[in-house]
């Protein structure tokens, strides 16, 4: 264990779990470690799901399945799904989620989901990669070396994957269904424009704004929301 930490492996994968929203989430080497800042995205998704009756909710780019775990625990009666393209992540997510009754799917973004969910998703929480490609080398070695690049690389401006999800989401969201995404604070305006260009009613989530100055790990991200118009 000590040797792995000295080699730069994230503490969470050395221990085999990460703390997230008061839970222990199983993580494995090669799987993106859930960040504390993403608890805001999970909380916003829970609030949105609770506003719907028997909601259908999806954790897209789920990694370990941390967001789906929170949704399954905190929204009784929700039909929760999770999806990722990486088979290692899907296997890890299944360990966290199958005991919670969550269906886990493997595939590329929304193509991973079963067709019967088209037009039925009330809440789509998508923790897409949003680091600009040119900034990947600036990340700490725990992420740069030990987490798959695809979980971090958002293309030239960091919003490439978000554009794909936003453009495809209209076919999957229910009327008034919501797409919720975490982005860097500096990307806020561009992310809102991206959602609007996809035909969604876009806004920033005020409850997930801004990082508490006392918690540096939370700094620098926002949650943006796109609503499918009726």
pLDDT confidence tier of residue 51, bands split at 50, 70 and 90: very high
Give residue-wise pLDDT tens across range 166-184: 999 999 999 999 999 999 9
Find the mean pLDDT for residues 139-158.
72
Give residue-wise pLDDT tens across range 110-137: 999 999 999 999 999 999 998 788 766 7
CB atoms within 10 A of CB 96: 26
Query: How deeply is 126 buried, as exposed, middle or buried, from its count of CB atoms within 10 A (0-12, 13-18, 19+)?
Result: buried
pLDDT given for residue 155 in this prediction:
81
User: DSSP assignment, residue 32?
Assistant: P
pLDDT confidence tier of residue 230, bands split at 50, 70 and 90: confident
Find the mean pLDDT for residues 76-80.
98
Cα of 207 vs its chain's centroid, Å: 17
Higher pLDDT, residue 142 or 176: 176
> How far apart are the C-alpha atoms of 75 and 94, rounded to whole Å?
19
pLDDT confidence tier of residue 146, bands split at 50, 70 and 90: low
Q: Where are the domains of the chain?
A: 35-228
pLDDT given for residue 5 in this prediction:
47
Three-class secondary structure of residue 105 per DSSP = strand
pLDDT given for residue 57 in this prediction:
99
Whether pTM exceeds 0.85: yes
Give residue-wise pLDDT tens across range 9-31: 789 999 999 999 999 999 999 99
Three-class secondary structure of residue 51 per DSSP = coil
Q: How far is CA 144 from CA 32, 88, 141, in A?
A: 11, 18, 5
**Which residues, in sequence order, are bridge partners of residue 124?**
58, 179
Higher pLDDT, residue 72 or 143: 72
pLDDT confidence tier of residue 190, bands split at 50, 70 and 90: very high
Angle ∠(57,158,121) on CA atoms, nearest 5: 15
CATH of 35-228, one of 3.40.50.150, 3.40.50.720, 3.30.70.270, 3.40.50.970: 3.40.50.150
């Amino acid at each position: 264990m000590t040797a792995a930490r000295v080699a730069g492996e994230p503490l969470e994968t050395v221990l085999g779990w990460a703390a997230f929203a008061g839970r222990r989430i199983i993580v494995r080497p090669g799987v993106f470690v859930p960040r504390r800042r993403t608890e805001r995205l999970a909380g916003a998704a829970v609030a949105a799901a609770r506003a719907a009756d028997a909601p259908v909710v999806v954790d897209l780019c789920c990694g370990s399945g941390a967001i789906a775990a929170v949704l399954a625990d905190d929204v009784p009666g929700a039909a929760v799904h999770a999806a990722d393209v990486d088979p290692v992540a899907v296997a890890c997510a299944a360990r966290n989620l199958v005991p919670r009754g969550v269906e886990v799917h493997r595939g590329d973004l929304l193509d991973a989901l079963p067709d019967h969910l088209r037009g039925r998703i009330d809440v789509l929480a998508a923790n897409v990669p949003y680091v600009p490609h040119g900034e990947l080398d600036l990340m700490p070695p725990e992420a740069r070396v030990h987490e798959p690049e695809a979980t971090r690389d958002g293309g030239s401006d960091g919003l490439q994957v978000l554009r794909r999800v936003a453009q495809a989401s209209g076919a999957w969201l229910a009327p008034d269904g919501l797409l919720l995404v975490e982005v860097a604070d500096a990307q806020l305006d561009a992310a809102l424009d991206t959602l609007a260009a996809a035909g969604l009613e876009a806004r920033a989530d005020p409850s997930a704004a801004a990082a508490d100055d006392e918690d540096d790990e939370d700094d620098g991200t926002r949650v943006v929301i796109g609503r499918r118009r009726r």
